[in-house]
Structure 1
């Protein structure tokens, strides 16, 4: 049995033990009403599994939102707030967010602000949500194409990771979560990174352990720096350029849809290249990082005319201060460096490096 993880203000429980704990929690709290927030995919593929693990007399109102990052906005929040109000939610209600990172981010924000805050529980159903969005209490929504510009830091009462939910995911969604797991190895633990050098040899039990280990890494970082004053910034490795690429592709319908993890995978290659230029990261390790990432993620075409508008998105990155764009780079695998500045010329060279990779 995977052991629970104690976080700042809540616990993460796994699989069957998780359902046991959520049943105990709901019994003890005796909420006035229970709401379950899903998107159309998790409603179809995950809700019945969740309900089958609840008591026979368990009842809940299900609120469904449209799936996808494009719907992670204040308009969707307004709709959910209105539904809660129309259905008689009060301050003693609870919202169970059953879904990927969009559902848990948006649902946590909606619950934290409805009537100045009601209880919420997260049940992440995607690999990305389990290893990334599940830890740290970041909730919020996008502002137009700008990622996570509006939100609050607030933790759920309890969080359940049911790894069987991963069987409902298409391969590209599994890869999207894998990007964050690779990141955790690169910024924190070279031994964890080494586990991914031959993923083909791993079985489902190994995946369970890797998921838990990834959550532990993120939680260790967050526990030491809950308000992102220093160390927690390292979790943004690959995200400065990755978020800019994600935002740019989101705004351009003629571009292929990029999942979060796919954009972060590109960002990690670009920022590892910058690490060679600015932090003496070893060239042979850049080659290894690039090779590993491109063995899991298809190479995305980024044209010359795309690069300048992508760079223009960097000014919205939340790590910036006093007008400076700050990167998280690597001195070595497991040894990150925060608040590094890179000029546009070096950023352009990083794109040229990515473009030149053979697949």
Structure 2
């Protein structure tokens, strides 16, 4: 098993490096691998330095950070509900965060996200976490009945997601055409917060929460055995479920605050990691993050270049990949 993990770690790192290199090379201004390397070594032209360090690199780094958050969040949600279909974008967690952020931004300024004042930017993660917490509270309240039933949790989450999405759509009707189009793009998933300020603001929180979950990953292993057995082993089941539900929600919320509502990343990465590795969560969580990062970086590269100069929201590209797999899982579970 250790040999298998080492091999897969090596493969995952190589694939991630290749996808990052492609993301840095491909765009309206094409660059060769050597030009990218020379730019990192300090030998690039002014245009190459600007393209790499101000446009493509922060966007790629943000994609990795966001995918890490959503991949770990999805893996945790699937673990505590014991439902392979649980995913923050589908059950309303991302939508709750998105609603909070849209209301916060539109109430304070008419500028688009790249021009937001620092006073608004600083509170984005906090507002997103509040929005997700409200959403999770509704889901937990309606899904709880002597414990959380996996089916009831999913159905409640889908209902909350639909309700919040309807509220966002209703709110958009009162916007100007320009604001409407911008918010529509963002709620479909767009790496709009791709500058170093947003990365420095969100990365420490995301990686801090990820490390906290990783440290307590053994509890997830016990919870996966079932409530009765976990209780017999001394785990306070409902307390631990609530802890992991809140931390997973905060991860998804912070990712949503800078990348919009990207669904299915929290489904694809964790399920592929589980299929390849199985095993315990201490092993599975990092690979769920890595696979999710590969998928999102590739999807973002496609979204930027497929119909250039028009950019497709990256969430649409991910959904094109995720929906068939989601249907496959539903049929398989049935």
Task: Give me the TM-score of the superposition, normalised by structure 2.
Answer: 0.31
- The structure in which a higher percent of residues are helix is 2
Task: Looking at secondary structure, tell me which structure has more strand per residue.
Answer: 1
Give the TM-score of the pair, scaled to structure 1.
0.29
The structure with higher relative contact order (CA 8 Å, sep 6+) is 2
